[in-house]
Amino acid sequence: MEPAASEPTSSKLPMNSETALRLVKNGGTILMLDVPRFTLIGIDTQVFSAGPNFKGIKMIPPGPHFVYYSSSNKDGSEYAPIIGFFVYISPSEVIVRKWIQQEERLVMLSEDEEECYSMAVKNLEFDHQLGPYGLIQFWDWIHISNYVTKDVIKRIEPIGGEITVTNEAELAETVPKTAMEKQLAEQLKNKRLLDTTKRACSPRCYYTTIPHVFKVKGVPKEELTSLNLDKTHQLESILMQNFAGEEDLLLGELQFCFIAFLMGQSLGAFFQWKAILSLLLGCQEAPFHSRSQLFSKFIKVIYFQLNHGLQQTHGNTSNRDKGVFIFMEDSWLNGDNFLHHLCKEFFSLTQEATTIDGNLLLWVKKLKELLETSLGWNFDRSPEDGIFGEDDEFAPVVVMPEETRGCEEMAS
């Protein structure tokens, strides 16, 4: 397995001998048979170019992972649309896929075949042809996938599990409205990602329906306007009807979408990611009263998403030139897009709140600083201060939960 030129790097979580031994015994394996040379293989935040002896990846930590790949022409200069799928790996589990040349894709084997190959892997017959999972990058992956559970994957993934933009051709023609979305669709077209001649369309992901306009039968127009200005009521309705009140499932879907969008180039995932952000950042009452804990976790989630996305965008131009990833292009994150407007309104709410959860304030500060530092966005009336000046008499009262008092969690 040959690392791609843009393989992510980090100084965190180095692999020591004890960790390596534990993962040799308990880590999972993805065996990939007959993968052609130069095929780009990705797992989580890591990308590799398949060498002549490549047979897969070993020592994968148990938990959720996103596997994705892009077939290449003979000299590795052009790439086909990315195909990806989520897996939830149990300790010592072996997952087997085989490359079908005519379809340029990996397929599952029969149970008997998979069992046979699994035993071969456990007997170390393929060990020298398996590349080790890079623990150096695992820390970043944890931060953007910690709410993606086995149940989240099963609930959202399409029939067959494959996520690819080639199943979403009509979205590029009918859904994009903003300049950012139009540019995304155009990039996909330019990179042959909407060529569906080789593969029939298959079902897309089962995302939660989030209406752009919230409607309730029998409610007067004036009250409906208020409900749409503050999306707290809509959030509560979605949480109860779709998630039985389990907040973490919504965060899991948000992370699922971000991963499928950034690593898998899924247009549908991008639109769902945007819809969830618009729903949560459009709430005015919930962040400070009924759902403070949810919003503390939510702001932390998008902080790590944007932090990772912006690092990849600014640090890996060679991959972008190859057309391997979409990345979070700077032009999508200019000062006139949906995320800037939503954050500006949300930050204004935190500034005007009379009380605010301490963890929520902490992560709002960190998110705001990230956007200002990385993108040059300015949300303050007084840019030299933080969200609030030290002696600002209008700053909200900070309410610290007992379990976090004195030990606020900071980003690693």
Distance between CA 310 and CA 349 in Å, rounded? 25
The residues with which 41 forms a beta bridge, in sequence order, are 48, 69
- Give mean pLDDT, residues 125-146: 92
Query: Strand, helix or coil at 295?
Result: helix
* Domain segments of the chain as ranges: 2-145, 165-399
Give the number of other CB atoms < 10 A from CB of residue 40: 22
Distance between CA 257 and CA 318 in Å, rounded? 25
- Give mean pLDDT, residues 10-37: 75
Distance between CA 268 and CA 256 in Å, rounded? 12
- What is the CATH code of the structural domain delimited by 2-145? 2.60.34.20
pLDDT digits (tens, 9 = 90+) for 199-211: 445 678 999 999 8
pLDDT at 354: 87
pLDDT digits (tens, 9 = 90+) for 182-204: 665 665 555 544 444 444 456 78
DSSP result, 106-169: EEEPPHHHHHHHHHHHHTTTTGGG-EEP-GGGHHHHHHHHTT--HHHHHHHSPTTS-B-GGG-H
Asked if 364 and 299 count as a contact pair (C-beta separation under 8 A), the reply is yes
Phi, psi of 349 (to 5 degrees): -60, -45
pLDDT at 376: 84
**Angle (CA) 347 278 150, round 5°:** 110
pLDDT digits (tens, 9 = 90+) for 349-405: 998 888 899 999 999 999 999 999 988 888 865 444 445 444 554 455 555 554 444
Asked if 84 and 67 count as a contact pair (C-beta separation under 8 A), the reply is yes
Phi, psi of 33 (to 5 degrees): -95, 140
Asked if 4 and 45 count as a contact pair (C-beta separation under 8 A), the reply is no
Query: Strand, helix or coil at 170?
Result: helix
Distance between CA 232 and CA 286 in Å, rounded? 6
- Give mean pLDDT, residues 29-52: 92
Architecture in CATH of 165-399: Alpha Horseshoe (1.25)
Query: What's this model's pTM, rounded to 2 decimal places?
Result: 0.81
